[in-house]
Amino acid sequence: MTSDFRLPTIASPPASGPASRSNTSASIALQLLRPIDAQMLDARGTAKAEVISSTARAGQFELLLRIARSDGFPQAEVKVTSREQIPSGTQLLVQAVNQTRMLASVQAAAASSAPLNAPLTRLDPTQFPADASLQARVLTQQVIENGAQQRFALLARIVQGAGVGSTLSLVSSKPVEPGTLLQATVGSSGELRVAAPSEQLRQLVVSLGLRDSLQRQASAEPLMAQLERITSAAPERIQPAMRQVLMHVSTVAQLSTEAGVAQAVKQSGLFLENNLAMLANALKTRPGGTEMPAGQAAAVQLPPLNKVLALLAGLATPPGVEPLPGADLKASLTNLLLNLQQQIPAESRALLALPPGPWQKIPGIRPGAFPLPSRVLQNMSETPDLGSLLRLTAALLSRIQHHQLQSLGQSQSFADGSSQTVWQLEIPLRDGQQFNHVQVRVQRDDAAPSKKTLEPIPRWEVRLAFDLEPLGPMQAIARLYKGKVSSEFWAERPATLNLLDSELGRLRDRLLAKGLSVGELSWHQGTPPPPRQAVQQNWVDEIT
């Protein structure tokens, strides 16, 4: 992948651009069409905005504003009316007067710090710190003739994030239409990284999926406890599906062995879709391993997905038995969900899945959250019934999906040939008479191949997060590179820290016995910093 955008080392703005607007304009009264939109402003009731469209209607003008929010939430679009016409592209500073009215003052098109005739060609680290995100709208485009390679000079105005109102001079290897919204971040060396359009779409899909699944998810413990209590009294038709889900619960003894951990990871549900694709391909392969002709392969009819999932759930294996591809927790949960839906009338099902109300604020979610907080659904009936069981099953499926999206959002390949792959999952656990879970995050970093190392050795990092008695909340981090392992443990309880201190020597001896070179082993009180993402995460390389 090659760079699509960059900040030039020497200013080279296009010859023409929108003229600056006077910043001495008087305030303009705006009427909100929806009072709820007043919540889009910050605590001071102010925000920067851009006019997206202006339409004359009934003797006044209906404006669509894009609000640049300073609280980390995604930008929002708000409809207002005005007695004065404000052209599209105008930058405003809006302030709430009450729940239905705002005052807007027109800002200079490029602010005093960055007029259009002097766009930014370097990013000041004090104004644009590393990892800062921003959005910029392309104003103009001009072709740059450079021998056989054609490039394009762009002017883009920052509309959200660091340096709102500033203008950037960019060079692109591809044409970018004026009006295009660019997603970008700042690298550790002050370079700007702009996501390719296809990557922007992927980010949007992942972000929306993360937000939706986070709202609907809940931990495994309530479901497993309810299944154990009511399985024998449930309708006979759904009892097998309930028992199949419980078969995927691991034990502490199982997770103390290599084979047990491997099986628990395979059955976590993280790989269901990939395993289903493998099964579909296997059906199109001859017994000898050769592929069928295209016509015959296309004629192969796969059974309906609900039939496949029911079959896979029926193949669930107890601890200690190698699982079949696709016979995992997510398949069993989906099969249970389908069985429960058949037992509950449609009108009752509709009442069980009420979406969040319009007044509920939804946080912006980005890949990298670990561990995922535990969550219990509220307003559940104290008397277990099929309705509450359906909600708990759907919530645990959403939690698995959230881990899958977190894995997808953090896995990427970079322009230099390096890559980062993340697997994030959760293992349900039986801890004595209680149910619990262990969260796992595995990260593999592969350096770019070079003449000296055609197959670079990957770096591995494994994180575990759990809350088991009597240890309390704990996280463990292990890193492996070139046969050398280091590890750190984080806990909150003093007794657990004392136990860790006494056991580190024994851990070192066991690692040495495995033939590993052992680096630093340490313990700490509290919680560790979040996983460090590659600087290039989700962005195409840009060189200043």
How do residues 481-527 score in pLDDT, each as one tens digit?
999 999 999 999 999 999 999 999 999 999 999 899 999 999 999 99
Strands (DSSP E) contained in 162-284 are: 167-172, 181-186, 192-194, 250-251
pLDDT at res. 314:
64
Tell whether 201 is covered by a domain.
Answer: no
Q: Give Cβ neighbours of residue 414 (< 8 Å, ≥ 6 apart).
A: 1, 420, 448, 534, 536, 541
- Say yes or no to pLDDT of 61 above 90: no
pLDDT at res. 18:
36
Same domain flag for 401 and 271: yes
- Say yes or no to pLDDT of 363 above 60: no
pLDDT at res. 85:
76
3-class secondary-structure state, position 477: strand
Of the candidates 429, 441, 504, 372, the one whose C-alpha atom is nearest the C-alpha of residue 255 is: 429
Distance between CA atoms of residues 117 and 242, nearest Å: 68
pLDDT at res. 243:
93
pLDDT at res. 89:
79
Question: What band does 542 get if pLDDT is binned at 50, 70 and 90?
Answer: very low
- Say yes or no to pLDDT of 356 above 50: no
pLDDT at res. 511:
93
Within its chain, how far is the Cα of 156 from the centroid?
Answer: 27
Q: What sign has the CA pseudo-torsion 305, 276, 466, 440?
A: negative
pLDDT at res. 112:
38
Across 217-221, 244-248, 249-253, 354-358, least confident range: 354-358
Distance between CA atoms of residues 112 and 534, nearest Å: 35
Token pair recorded at residue 5:
């955008």
Distance between CA atoms of residues 91 and 164, nearest Å: 10
Q: Give Cβ neighbours of residue 311 (< 8 Å, ≥ 6 apart).
A: 303
* In contact, 464 and 451? CB cutoff 8 Å: no
β pairing state of 76-82 and 28-32: antiparallel
Domain boundary pick from 106, 132, 161: 106
How many domains does the chain contain in total?
Answer: 3
β pairing state of 101-106 and 60-68: unpaired
Across 161-165, 204-208, 230-234, 459-463, least confident range: 161-165
Half-sphere exposure of 82 (CA within 13 A, CB side): 23
The better pLDDT of the pair 362, 341 is held by 341
Q: Give Cβ neighbours of residue 434 (< 8 Å, ≥ 6 apart).
A: 221
Structural domain that includes position 128? 5-16+112-194
Distance between CA atoms of residues 177 and 179, nearest Å: 6
Across 6-10, 209-213, 350-354, 366-370, least confident range: 6-10
149 burial type by CB count under 10 A (0-12 exposed, 13-18 middle, 19+ buried): exposed
Question: What band does 14 get if pLDDT is binned at 50, 70 and 90?
Answer: very low
3-class secondary-structure state, position 276: helix
The CATH number of residue 41's host domain is 2.40.50
Same domain flag for 178 and 307: no
Token pair recorded at residue 138:
């392309």
Distance between CA atoms of residues 531 and 98, nearest Å: 42
**Residues of the chain above pLDDT 70, percent:** 73
Distance between CA atoms of residues 531 and 369, nearest Å: 8
Tell whether 506 is covered by a domain.
Answer: yes
Same domain flag for 182 and 264: no
The better pLDDT of the pair 105, 406 is held by 406
Same domain flag for 418 and 508: yes
Distance between CA atoms of residues 49 and 41, nearest Å: 10
Q: What are phi and psi of 508, to 5 degrees?
A: -60, -45
Q: Residues 109-133: what's their mean pLDDT?
A: 64
Question: Hey, what's the torsion of the CAs at 259, 265, 269, 275, to 10 degrees?
Answer: -70
DSSP secondary structure of 21-44: PPTTPPPEEEEESSGGGGGGS-TT
Tell whether 204 is covered by a domain.
Answer: no
Same domain flag for 170 and 277: no
Peptide linkage before 325 cis (omega within 30 of 0): no
Same domain flag for 234 and 263: yes
Same domain flag for 128 and 98: no
Of the candidates 66, 54, 116, 128, the one whose C-alpha atom is nearest the C-alpha of residue 92 is: 66
Tell whether 199 is covered by a domain.
Answer: no
Distance between CA atoms of residues 51 and 85, nearest Å: 11
Same domain flag for 83 and 179: no
Question: What band does 16 get if pLDDT is binned at 50, 70 and 90?
Answer: very low
Q: Compute the mean pLDDT over every residue in the chain, rounded to the nearest whole number.
A: 78
Same domain flag for 236 and 188: no
- Say yes or no to pLDDT of 261 above 50: yes
- Say yes or no to pLDDT of 74 above 50: yes
3-class secondary-structure state, position 223: helix
The better pLDDT of the pair 158, 224 is held by 224
- Say yes or no to pLDDT of 384 above 70: no
Q: Residues 115-125: what's their mean pLDDT?
A: 68
Tell whether 536 is covered by a domain.
Answer: no
Question: What band does 155 get if pLDDT is binned at 50, 70 and 90?
Answer: confident
Amino acid sitting at position 527: T
Q: Residues 117-123: what's their mean pLDDT?
A: 73
Across 240-254, 255-269, 341-355, least confident range: 341-355
Distance between CA atoms of residues 505 and 377, nearest Å: 42
Question: Hey, what's the torsion of the CAs at 182, 186, 190, 193, to 10 degrees?
Answer: -50
Cα 392 to Cα 271, 309, 388, 404, 475, distances in angstroms: 21, 19, 6, 19, 26
Burial 43-52 (b: 16+ CB within 10 A, else e): eeeebbbbbb
Same domain flag for 101 and 127: no
- Range with the largest mean pLDDT of 6-20, 30-44, 211-225: 211-225
Token pair recorded at residue 290:
């050769």
Same domain flag for 141 and 70: no
Q: Residues 355-383: what's their mean pLDDT?
A: 60
Across 64-68, 342-346, 428-432, least confident range: 342-346
pLDDT at res. 460:
96
Same domain flag for 102 and 129: no
Q: Residues 98-105: what's their mean pLDDT?
A: 81
- Say yes or no to pLDDT of 360 above 70: no
DSSP secondary structure of 80-140: EEESS---TT-EEEEEESSSSEEEEEEPPTTTTTS-TTS-BSS--TTTS-TT-EEEEEEEE
* In contact, 477 and 459? CB cutoff 8 Å: no
Distance between CA atoms of residues 244 and 335, nearest Å: 9
281-300 confidence digits (pLDDT tens): 777 766 665 666 656 655 66
Domain boundary pick from 81, 106, 131: 106
Token pair recorded at residue 213:
């699944």
301-354 confidence digits (pLDDT tens): 667 766 777 777 666 666 656 666 678 999 999 999 988 988 887 766 665 654
Domain boundary pick from 106, 138, 158: 106
- Say yes or no to pLDDT of 80 above 70: yes
Token pair recorded at residue 450:
């070079």
pLDDT at res. 447:
85
